[in-house]
Amino acid sequence: MDHPVSLEVRPWRTTALVASALAAVELVVLVIAGVALLGGPISRQVHETAAARTLPPVERAPAAKRTPDAASLARGETSVLVLNGNGRAGAASEAAARVQSRGYLVGGTGNASSSDHPRTLVMYRPGHEGEGRRLATDLGIALVGPLDGMAPRELLGAHLALVLGST
């Protein structure tokens, strides 16, 4: 017995496949449109938030040659405390005479906190770098720097400290 073969066409399957493909294409188009429309503002906001959380940009002045501050006080107005840091008796008095012969005021002489300074140096209180550099130049001293190991009150009113070393 032969059964008749039925070749029924089921139109609902084809319709469902076409409708699904169309929905997928619409979804892709909507996602692309959403990213294009919202991506720019969101990206901008993310960058602005990140920039706000970082340090502000540093405004730099045009590069200029750095020169030490010019001395604002004349030699006769600049007071120097001469300290013996080499342990040799009379060294501070001799150096004070040299400082005075250059036109500086000698604010006092004494011994440094230690007597093993290897090199002579000039130290200056804040705001008197120019005077310190000028004294160093006048006396042929290579080391100049801010007060190190001394408080400004230890200068007894002087602007500079000349600490004598072994050389």
Class of domain 75-164: alpha beta
Token representation of residue 80: 């120097």
pLDDT at 79 over 90: yes
Each domain of the chain, given as residue ranges in start order, spans 10-57, 75-164
Angle 19-20-22 (CA atoms, 0-180°, nearest 5)? 65
pTM: 0.58
* Burial of 124: CB neighbours in 10 Å, binned 0-12, 13-18, 19+: buried
Q: What is the pLDDT of residue 53?
A: 66
> Quick one: pLDDT band at residue 78, thresholds 50, 70, 90?
very high
Taking only the tens place, the pLDDT of each residue in 2-59 is: 656 655 656 778 888 888 999 999 999 998 888 888 777 777 777 777 766 665 555 6
